[in-house]
Amino acid sequence: MNSQIFSPSYPESRMRRLRKGDFILRMLTESNLSTNNLIFPLFIVEGNGVKEEVSSMPGIYVYSIDEILYVAEKCIDLGIPTIALFPVIDSTLKTNNGIESINANGLIPRTVIEIKKRFPELGIMTDIALDPYTIHGQDGILDDSGYVLNDETIEMLTKQSLLHASAGVDIVAPSDMMDGRIGIIRQKLESNEYKNTIIMAYSAKYSSAFYGPFRDAIRSSNNLKKGNKNSYQINPSNINEAIREAAADITEGADMLIVKPGIPYLDVLTKIKEKFRVPTFAYQVSGEYSMIKAASLNGWIRNDEIILESLICFRRAGADGILTYFALEAAELLRKNN
């Protein structure tokens, strides 16, 4: 062995000095995770006393309004600032144009009103899209060939946004990926005295295979069948397209952006955050949750450690916050660790 290796100057830098104990690891932590960074997605259904586990998402449930109030209270107790609501619509109410999405007495407006009545301090975010309400499972209105019509869909989305804002929603989150919808929704919110309603745009929503369990939860899998959303969601191979989408949404009036899915698209998240420096969120989607949960239930990985590691990855990549089905578990772990 070369004797130079053992000279007094070898090695010039010992990086392990800065990993020698817990105190120094804590001092030099670059990315932090707290409950303030979490948004908990929740599935809501008609009925009373309903708490049904989603078969493909162990530990995640579909709740009726009365049951979701208990979850909302738990979120407040754990310091989770915001929940995101997704409706599970009865099949008899689904139509080609998703007209139930603008029913003033519909599931989402009533849920928002009840939660705000009990817990006004809890932030509420709602999905602005038609797929839970359409008989075909697409995010918009179709023409005779099955193509999703852009402008006609935006008209419905705008009405849906106004309805949610009138019910007391804090954040409307258009997830449809129609061109120009942020500008029109912003304009209508402004002209209808909802100037303080936040728009969190799904700017980089990819046409991904990771959404399967979510579609099981909202019961749209059978509606979509073997269809896809390639004509409006982004090709997983592309990143410049996502940057252009983000730029357009910011110009049109979006306050915050979402990248979806999460971990497989951390590169997209980082580039968007670095380029635009606006509040940027990631969605750790149902497929990501189910893979981690299935592996942990089988004893292949350590559940608690991988939950926190997966979430800190988003923070390291630049996310200001994360929509995650692990929100309750993560909040409890963070409380325990503190």
3-state secondary structure at position 38: strand
Q: Which of 50, 35, 197 is CA-nearest to residue 124?
A: 197
- Residues annotated as catalytic (active site), given as ranges: 205, 260
Residue of 174, 242, 253, 181 whose CA lies nearest to 207: 242
Of the candidates 154, 160, 233, the one whose C-alpha atom is nearest the C-alpha of residue 197 is: 160
CB 322 within 8 A of CB 284: yes
Q: Which of 152, 241, 155 is nearest to 203 (CA)?
A: 241
Asked if the bond preceding 236 is cis, omega within 30° of 0, the reply is: no
Determine the straight-line distance between the first and last CA of the chain, rounded to whole angstroms.
Answer: 47
Widest CA span in the chain:
81
DSSP symbols for 139-166: SSEE-TTSPEEHHHHHHHHHHHHHHHHH
CA distance 211 to 219: 12
Tokens in use for 289? 């949750």
Residue 245 labelled as part of a binding site: yes
Give the 3-state secondary structure percentages of the chain, helix then strand then coil, rounded to 5.
45, 20, 35
The token pair at 106 is 């519909």
- Which residue ranges are tagged as binding site for Mg(2+)? 245
